């Protein structure tokens, strides 16, 4: 059974989250719509970014799109600069890290991270998400790009999902702009996605693991991993599917793996865990349904919506085309069975899809701020890092899309 601390925190969390969900449900529709969107709620505890290497990781915030609130927080581990390479960085007057142009820099894979919160809360800049992403950046030795997607109900489906794929496209554009810079082209190029120039941390340290010869020149292929937490796992899975469909249109970026942590999956026909654990800790079934009502447009509300149920018939592309996928589930999470079923279906078509099932654990046990320092949360992050390194350390590995 979960500890007494976890049970007490669950009571507080459910009270606060139900109050938020009910308040949003009762808000008049005319006051909900906001095309620009919001990426956090007033009650959220926000961690300030710090471009110096505090606790081994430097962070910075950037706006990914001038026409919406979509934002990014970049986490750069100090292993990118503390290497055998000669001094290749400088500390500017404001105390932040800036790569020196014209020098060699250590390259790291990029991981896009999508936070949880039932599509209606959470933030890529929250204290809990900031701590989690710092841990993952250090353990996996990757650049983490935490995506501040637009929340519901101000932005309904497919807003958050489209934001996720826009960031993957933005990453591909940044990679191409960086290549142009290395080939001697003008660095100060205005990017139509919202960046007026190459993002310097990604340009200097974004992975360049392979080189493809094209008729127009030389292009680096960058390894990218997707990581989604709770509702963020649904977004990650959508982005992975879109990446498969896009194929070479995303060059030079290649999604080589995805990590689904406690996916926010549900369906019209209840599973065993959805019946047995309907009133369990943290997110219960009633709260989950309210979140989906706030996220999906009224005319599209259906628990078998493709965004909610990964196993509905007709979803594209075929599962055999999906990248390697590790799934994390918890014993006391009512959504666990559908995530397990999805993992099993991936394995049936020979996708590397291991399952990590944690005893006595609850939904988001490895990512909630109050639980981040527990031994189980730290062990989960380490387990995930061991698996993902198989794919981010490979050279020339390619999947058939």
Residue 64 inside a domain? The answer is: yes
Question: H helices of 34-82, where?
Answer: none
363 assigned to active site: yes
In the chain, the number of structural domains is 1
Q: Which residues of 196-206 are buried (b: 16+ CB within 10 A; e: fewer)?
A: eebbbbbbbbb
Q: Report the interhelical angle of 375-392 vs 127-140 (nearest 10°).
A: 50
Residue 310 half-sphere exposure toward CB, CA atoms < 13 A: 29
**What confidence score (pLDDT) does residue 240 get?**
96
For residue 231, give the CATH number of its domain.
3.40.50.1820
- Residue 139: pLDDT band with limits 50, 70, 90: very high
Residue 36 inside a domain? The answer is: yes
333 assigned to active site: yes
Q: What does the alpha-carbon distance between residue 100 and residue 86 come to, in Å, rounded to a whole number?
A: 11
Residue 159 inside a domain? The answer is: yes
Residue 379 has pLDDT above 60, yes or no: yes
**What confidence score (pLDDT) does residue 39 get?**
93
Q: What is the pTM of this model?
A: 0.89
Q: What does the alpha-carbon distance between residue 345 and residue 144 come to, in Å, rounded to a whole number?
A: 28
Residue 339 inside a domain? The answer is: yes
Output the six-digit token pair for 371.
């639980």
Residue 95 inside a domain? The answer is: no
Active-site entry in 163, 175, 363, 385: 363
Active-site entry in 332, 333, 337, 343: 333
Residue 246 inside a domain? The answer is: yes
Domain limits for position 18:
4-82+103-211+218-392
Lowest-confidence pick of 177-186, 231-240, 387-396: 177-186
Q: What does the alpha-carbon distance between residue 206 and residue 174 come to, in Å, rounded to a whole number?
A: 10
Active-site entry in 230, 231, 343, 385: 230
Q: What does the alpha-carbon distance between residue 339 and residue 148 come to, in Å, rounded to a whole number?
A: 24
For the stretch 319-357, pLDDT in tens is: 999 999 999 999 999 999 999 999 999 999 999 999 999
Question: H helices of 247-314, where?
Answer: 272-276, 285-295
Residue 108 inside a domain? The answer is: yes
**What confidence score (pLDDT) does residue 223 get?**
85
Residue 43 inside a domain? The answer is: yes
Output the six-digit token pair for 300.
């599209």
């Amino acid at each position: 059974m979960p500890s007494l601390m976890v049970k007490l925190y669950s009571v507080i969390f459910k009270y606060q989250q139900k109050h938020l969900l009910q308040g949003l449900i009762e808000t008049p529709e005319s006051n909900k719509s906001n095309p620009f969107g919001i990426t956090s709620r007033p009650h959220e505890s926000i961690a300030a970014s710090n471009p110096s290497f505090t606790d081994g990781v430097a962070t910075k915030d950037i706006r990914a799109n001038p026409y919406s609130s979509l934002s990014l927080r970049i986490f750069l581990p100090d292993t990118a600069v503390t290497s055998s390479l000669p001094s290749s960085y400088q500390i500017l007057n404001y105390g932040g890290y800036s790569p020196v142009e014209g020098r060699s820099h250590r390259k790291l894979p990029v991981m896009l991270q999508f936070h949880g919160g039932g599509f209606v809360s959470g933030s890529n800049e929250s204290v809990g998400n900031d701590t989690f992403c710092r841990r993952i950046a250090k353990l996996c030795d990757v650049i983490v790009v935490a995506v501040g997607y637009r929340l519901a109900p101000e932005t309904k489906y497919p807003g958050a999902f489209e934001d996720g794929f826009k960031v993957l496209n933005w990453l591909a554009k940044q990679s191409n702009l960086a290549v142009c810079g290395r080939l001697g082209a003008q660095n100060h190029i205005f990017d139509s996605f919202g960046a007026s120039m190459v993002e310097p941390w990604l340009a200097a340290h974004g992975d360049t693991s392979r080189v493809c010869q094209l008729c127009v020149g030389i292009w680096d292929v960058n390894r990218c991993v997707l990581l989604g937490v709770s509702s963020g796992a649904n977004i990650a899975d959508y982005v992975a599917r879109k990446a498969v469909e896009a194929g070479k249109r995303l060059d030079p970026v290649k999604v080589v793996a995805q990590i689904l942590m406690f996916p926010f999956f549900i369906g019209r026909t209840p599973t065993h865990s959805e019946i047995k654990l309907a009133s369990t800790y943290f997110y219960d079934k009633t709260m989950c349904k309210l979140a989906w009502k706030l996220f999906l447009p009224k005319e599209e509300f259906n628990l078998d919506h493709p965004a909610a149920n990964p196993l509905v018939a007709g979803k594209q592309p075929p599962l055999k085309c999906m990248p390697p996928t590790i799934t994390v589930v918890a014993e006391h999470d009512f959504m666990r069975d559908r995530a397990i079923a999805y993992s099993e279906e991936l394995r049936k078509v020979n996708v590397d899809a291991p399952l990590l099932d944690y005893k006595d654990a609850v939904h988001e046990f490895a990512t909630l701020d109050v639980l981040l320092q527990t031994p189980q949360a730290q062990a989960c992050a380490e387990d995930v890092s061991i698996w993902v390194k198989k794919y981010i350390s490979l050279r020339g590995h390619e999947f058939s899309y």
